[in-house]
Amino acid sequence: MGLELLNEVLEQTADRVVASKTVTPADDYLRDHFPSFPVLPGVLMLETMVQAARRLIEPRDPQYARHVLGNVRALKYGAMVRPGHTLVVEVTLLKEPEPGRFDFKGVGTVRETPDQEPRVAVSGKFSLRPIND
């Protein structure tokens, strides 16, 4: 569909997925965000959670892989994700309020050093809907 951000699905059940995105110095979007202090843009943190959510619902119906972001609520950003860091997102399906629409909660964490506790980089609730609604 567009820029594939997920590097790996680490865990998956029927209602939860854990996936990762490693930021590399070669990622094109870092040139502009920001040249002297490159960080993963917040919108791409959200998109990483959206892509994980699509992977979660795709087994129900392959058409769900084309779902788009419907709305976002209570989105918060915390730690920055820099080149060399890995954003690990955990997305949980909350409900299907009507057929083909899905509500999720997600959280993305990052470890700035291997021995450091993970810090929240992004969290919030969002929905996916069919592309032509």
CA distance 133 to 128: 11
Quote the pLDDT of residue 11.
98
User: Could you report the per-residue pLDDT of 77-107, keeping only the tens digit for each?
Assistant: 999 999 999 999 999 999 999 999 999 999 9
Quote the pLDDT of residue 114.
82
pTM: predicted TM-score of the whole model, two decimal places: 0.95
User: Could you report the per-residue pLDDT of 52-82, keeping only the tens digit for each?
Assistant: 999 999 999 999 999 999 999 999 999 999 9
Quote the pLDDT of residue 1.
53
What is the third-level CATH fold of 8-103+115-129?
A: Thiol Ester Dehydrase; Chain A (3.10.129)
User: Could you report the per-residue pLDDT of 4-20, keeping only the tens digit for each?
Assistant: 999 999 999 999 999 99
Catalytic residue among 16, 33, 55, 129: 33
Q: Do residues 49 and 122 touch, judged by C-beta distance below 8 A?
A: yes
At 91, list the tokens: 């997305």
State the amino acid at position 92 in one-letter form: T
Q: Is 33 one of the annotated active-site residues of the chain?
A: yes
Domain ranges of the chain: 8-103+115-129
